[in-house]
């Protein structure tokens, strides 16, 4: 059998062919009317993809660069900030805030869990200037409840800005920046928008723009005010990666094409696709005797699975790559060898998911000699989920638990884990 490499990772993700063609054809100078027209169109599309009326700026960097820009533009040395962390990405916020001289308060949740709202409320202080968090923590497969934190800030009349790393959340999670009151939201090119690494984008509220005028941390290349000023004339402050901008435009066109040219509706379809493929994967892994690492707060960006007893996750990751060229990720840091992570964002679909589940069955039975299930067990479970989801495709899911009126126990303490599982 031939071996064809396939990415099932949360970033980079599989590339969209139309975006690759656009990159190859992007032979233009960045200070020309041709590029200005392209860039202006892409910036407008990004607003629709993020789902905001706020200005969106683009940086030539990975998502980590955008996270640094958020800290450096919104804080001053000595500012008290609050970081909500439950994994490696959250820990980046802690390191970044400390590196810019902030006084950092931290609410930590164990890996595989999300933080309790009461703990966030207790840690919030009158002088807290910003709250930093993830929408989805792909190191553990967890989805955090952004609207619950946003509502808490409103209810307590906090002046803290809410900053959300949505690099793997956008395109996999229903996010409403403007309605919830998020002040800065970050996305990345190598994730749901299906192009190579190298671009990040930030949607910024007027409150956040105002804060930048009063903050004193050093910034030069990542000065968001420079980018906003230049963007208004269809340019970037410094030399942009022209080919990536062209690829981004093609990718956003593709998303819109999923809903007859309506980018907002196309984004919703991408989220539904991620939710469905995630649910298929979770059902298959459970049927094969594995356990979900973040069962109660699972993300549609990536599924984290505890390896079967006696089998290190590293062995499964390696065997999938060796036999089938299927690349998934091991756990990070202390979780290495304990969990494996399978992504669902961007250019993944039903057939990709079925293929991976079939390959996983082969590896577990033939390579790792796992017993207790037969070939097809995982595939049957996934097929049933797909059939059910297809039959109920019109059902709205605006919250990670499937409800439309609240966000599970974070907003409504009486709404428990059992109820969450019932609606997923």
pLDDT band at 391 (very low <50, low <70, confident <90, very high): confident
pLDDT greater than 50 at residue 53 = yes
pLDDT greater than 70 at residue 398 = no
Question: For position 420, what pLDDT does the model report?
Answer: 28
Q: What are phi and psi of 22, to 5 degrees?
A: -65, -40
pLDDT greater than 60 at residue 247 = yes
Domain boundaries, the chain: 6-10+264-423, 17-257
Residue that wins the pLDDT comparison between 398 and 15: 15
Question: For position 310, what pLDDT does the model report?
Answer: 81
289: left (phi over 0), alpha (psi -120 to 50) or beta: left
Residue that wins the pLDDT comparison between 32 and 398: 32
Question: For position 233, what pLDDT does the model report?
Answer: 94
State the fold for domain 6-10+264-423: 3.90.1150
Report the alpha-carbon distance of residue 368 to residue 361 in Å, rounded. Answer: 10
Distance (Å) of CA 345 to CA 11, 76, 139, 292, 328: 9, 35, 14, 18, 13
Question: For position 312, what pLDDT does the model report?
Answer: 92
Is residue 143 within a helix (H) or strand (E), and if so which, with residue range?
strand 142-143
Task: Check if the beta carbon of residue 191 is closer than 8 Å to that of residue 11.
Answer: yes
Report the alpha-carbon distance of residue 92 to residue 70 in Å, rounded. Answer: 12
Question: For position 215, what pLDDT does the model report?
Answer: 96
Strand locations in 220-344 (E): 291-292, 302-306, 326-327, 329-330, 339-343
pTM of the model: 0.91
Residue range 133-166, pLDDT digits in tens: 999 999 999 999 999 999 999 999 999 999 999 9
pLDDT greater than 60 at residue 93 = yes
Task: Check if the beta carbon of residue 48 is closer than 8 Å to that of residue 263.
Answer: yes
Report the alpha-carbon distance of residue 295 to residue 75 in Å, rounded. Answer: 36
Which residue, 88, 82, 78, 128, is CA-closest to 112? 88
pLDDT greater than 70 at residue 341 = yes
Mean pLDDT calculated for residue range 59-81: 97
For domain 17-257, which CATH number applies: 3.40.50.2300, 3.10.450.50, 3.20.190.10, 3.40.640.10? 3.40.640.10
Q: Which residues are annotated as a binding site?
A: 341
Question: For position 400, what pLDDT does the model report?
Answer: 43
Report the mean per-residue pLDDT for the chain.
Answer: 91
Question: For position 51, what pLDDT does the model report?
Answer: 94
Q: What proportion of the chain, given as a percentage, has pLDDT over 70?
A: 93
Task: Check if the beta carbon of residue 125 is closer than 8 Å to that of residue 288.
Answer: no
Mean pLDDT calculated for residue range 185-193: 95
Q: What are phi and psi of 214, to 5 degrees?
A: -115, 5
Report the alpha-carbon distance of residue 130 to residue 213 in Å, rounded. Answer: 15
Report the alpha-carbon distance of residue 206 to residue 78 in Å, rounded. Answer: 23
Q: Which residues are annotated as a binding site for substrate?
A: 341
Q: Residue 358 is encoded by which pair of tokens?
A: 């079939």
pLDDT band at 36 (very low <50, low <70, confident <90, very high): very high
pLDDT greater than 50 at residue 349 = yes
Question: For position 1, what pLDDT does the model report?
Answer: 80
Report the alpha-carbon distance of residue 185 to residue 203 in Å, rounded. Answer: 5
Residue that wins the pLDDT comparison between 402 and 85: 85
Mean pLDDT calculated for residue range 3-24: 95
SS (H, E, C) 59-115: ECCCHHHHHHHHHHHHCCCCCEEEEEECCHHHHHHHHHHHHCCCEEEEEECCCCCCC
Distance (Å) of CA 256 to CA 11, 49, 227, 234, 388: 22, 9, 26, 22, 25
pLDDT greater than 50 at residue 414 = no
> Is there a shared CATH topology between the 6-10+264-423 domain and the 17-257 domain?
no
Report the alpha-carbon distance of residue 292 to residue 311 in Å, rounded. Answer: 15
Question: For position 309, what pLDDT does the model report?
Answer: 76
């Amino acid at each position: 059998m031939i071996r064809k490499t396939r990415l099932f990772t949360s970033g980079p993700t599989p590339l969209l062919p139309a975006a690759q063609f656009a990159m190859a054809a992007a032979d233009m100078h960045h200070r020309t009317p041709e590029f200005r027209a392209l860039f202006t169109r892409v910036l407008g599309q990004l607003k629709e993809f993020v789902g905001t009326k706020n200005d969106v700026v683009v940086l030539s960097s990975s998502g980590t660069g955008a996270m640094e820009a958020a800290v450096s533009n919104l804080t001053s040395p000595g500012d008290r900030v609050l970081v909500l962390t439950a994994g490696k990405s959250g820990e980046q916020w802690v390191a970044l805030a400390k590196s810019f001289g902030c006084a950092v308060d931290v609410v930590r949740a164990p890996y595989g869990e999300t933080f309790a709202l009461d703990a966030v409320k207790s840690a919030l202080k009158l002088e807290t200037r910003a709250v930093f968090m993830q929408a989805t923590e792909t190191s553990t497969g967890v989805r955090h409840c952004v609207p619950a934190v946003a509502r808490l800030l409103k209810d307590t009349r906090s002046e803290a800005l809410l900053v959300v790393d949505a690099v793997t959340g956008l395109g996999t999670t229903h996010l409403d920046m403007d309605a919830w009151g998020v002040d800065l939201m970050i996305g990345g090119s190598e994730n749901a928008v299906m192009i190579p690494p190298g671009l990040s984008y930030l949607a910024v509220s007027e409150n956040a723009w105002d804060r930048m005028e009063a903050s004193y941390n050093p910034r030069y290349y990542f000065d968001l005010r420079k980018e906003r000023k230049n963007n208004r004339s269809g340019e970037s402050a410094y030399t942009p990666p022209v080919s990536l901008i062209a690829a981004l435009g093609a990718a956003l066109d593709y998303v819109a094409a999923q809903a007859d040219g309506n980018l907002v509706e196309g984004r919703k379809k991408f989220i539904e696709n991620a939710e469905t493929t995630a649910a298929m994967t979770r059902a298959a892994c459970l049927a094969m005797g594995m356990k979900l690492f973040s069962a109660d707060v699972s993300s549609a960006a990536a599924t984290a699975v505890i390896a079967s007893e006696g089998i290190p996750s590293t062995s499964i990751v390696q065997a999938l790559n060796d036999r089938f060229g299927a690349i998934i990720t091991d756990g990070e840091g202390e979780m290495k060898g304990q969990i494996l992570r399978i992504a669902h964002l961007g250019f993944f679909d039903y057939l990709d998911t079925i293929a991976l589940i079939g390959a996983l069955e082969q590896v577990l039975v033939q390579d790792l000699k796992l017993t207790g299930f037969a070939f097809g067990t995982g595939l049957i479970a996934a097929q049933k989920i797909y059939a059910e989801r297809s039959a109920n495709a019109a059902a709205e899911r605006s919250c990670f638990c499937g409800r439309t009126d609240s966000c599970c126990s974070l907003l409504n303490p009486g709404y428990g884990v059992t109820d969450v599982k019932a609606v997923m």
